């Protein structure tokens, strides 16, 4: 219920009715009332979302990232109203505990990505780059919900993965650790993969800039 409605529109009576139990029974398990119920629901959603990030260490990095982003966007799609209410900020239901739960999900996402990049001791610039992209994905998700889920999920997914590729490549120009990660990742890419497709689409746009090199 907290996924499909804003917290203000969920009452303990609704929850009791949906669960087929009495209101006092809900209070017996959740003496803190709606706030406690909300935090429990949020913890459960956070766990489900972290599960979306898990991905075997096989295939090209962009294929793995595509699958994880696809599951993430499906989660956002299914939890739309709650996701917006929580992340837009200023919600009555927001506390230091809910913020900590959300930050835990962000940390889990960053750790998964760094694991897949094969980096054991990520330096500042690589960590910053990964966190910047994760925040950008959140921002894109909120706008996506706001705009009636346009562009379609598949297109948004591919676009977000492309954004990851270019953001890491830009950092590679300033950071040797990121540069070696990028080189290794590119070697595993196929011509029909995200990087090849992106390159073929972008080259005609930036071709004239070759004079700057």
Positions touching a copy of itself (CB under 8 A) are 88-90, 94-100, 102, 124-125, 127-128, 131-140, 143-144, 147, 150-151, 155, 159, 162-163, 165-167, 169-174, 179, 182-183, 186-187, 189-191, 193, 195-196, 198-203, 205-206, 208-209, 211-213
Closer to a copy of itself by CB, 74 or 202: give it. Answer: 202
In whole angstroms, the minimum distance from the beta carbon of 54 to a copy of itself comes to 23
Closer to a copy of itself by CB, 15 or 171: give it. Answer: 171
In whole angstroms, the minimum distance from the beta carbon of 119 to a copy of itself comes to 16
In whole angstroms, the minimum distance from the beta carbon of 46 to a copy of itself comes to 15
In whole angstroms, the minimum distance from the beta carbon of 151 to a copy of itself comes to 7
Closer to a copy of itself by CB, 23 or 201: give it. Answer: 201
In whole angstroms, the minimum distance from the beta carbon of 17 to a copy of itself comes to 29
Residue 52 CB contacts under 8 Å (≥ 6 apart), including other chains:
68, 71, 72, 74, 75
Supply the Cα-derived Rg of the chain in whole angstroms.
20
* Burial readout 122-160 (b: 16 or more C-beta within 10 A, e: otherwise): beeebeebbeebbeebbebbeebbeeeeeeebeebbbeb
N-term to C-term CA, the chain:
55
Q: Could you tell me the sign of the dihedral formed by the alpha carbons of 151, 155, 50, 175, in that order?
A: negative
Please say whether the beta carbons of 23 and 12 come within 8 A. yes
CA 113 – CA 107 distance, rounded (Å)? 10
Closer to a copy of itself by CB, 50 or 94: give it. Answer: 94
């Amino acid at each position: 219920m907290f996924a499909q409605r804003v917290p203000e529109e969920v009452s303990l009576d609704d929850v009791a009715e949906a669960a087929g139990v009495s209101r006092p029974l809900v209070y017996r398990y959740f003496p803190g009332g709606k706030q406690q119920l909300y935090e429990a629901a949020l913890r459960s959603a956070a766990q489900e979302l972290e599960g979306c990030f898990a991905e075997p260490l096989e295939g090209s990095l962009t294929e793995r990232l595509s699958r994880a982003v696809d599951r993430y966007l499906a989660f956002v799609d299914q939890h739309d109203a709650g996701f917006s209410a929580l992340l837009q900020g200023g919600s009555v239901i927001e506390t230091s505990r809910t913020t900590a739960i959300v930050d835990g999900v962000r940390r889990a996402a960053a750790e998964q990505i760094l694991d897949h990049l094969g980096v054991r001791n990520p330096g500042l610039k690589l960590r910053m780059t990964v966190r910047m992209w994760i925040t950008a994905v959140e921002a894109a998700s909120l706008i996506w919900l706001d705009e009636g889920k346009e562009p379609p999920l598949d297109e948004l997914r591919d676009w977000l993965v492309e954004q990851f590729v270019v953001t890491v490549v830009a950092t590679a120009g300033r950071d040797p650790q990121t540069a070696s990660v990028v080189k290794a990742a590119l070697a595993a890419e196929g011509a029909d993969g995200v990087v090849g497709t992106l390159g073929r689409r972008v080259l005609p746009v930036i071709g004239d800039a070759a004079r700057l090199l």
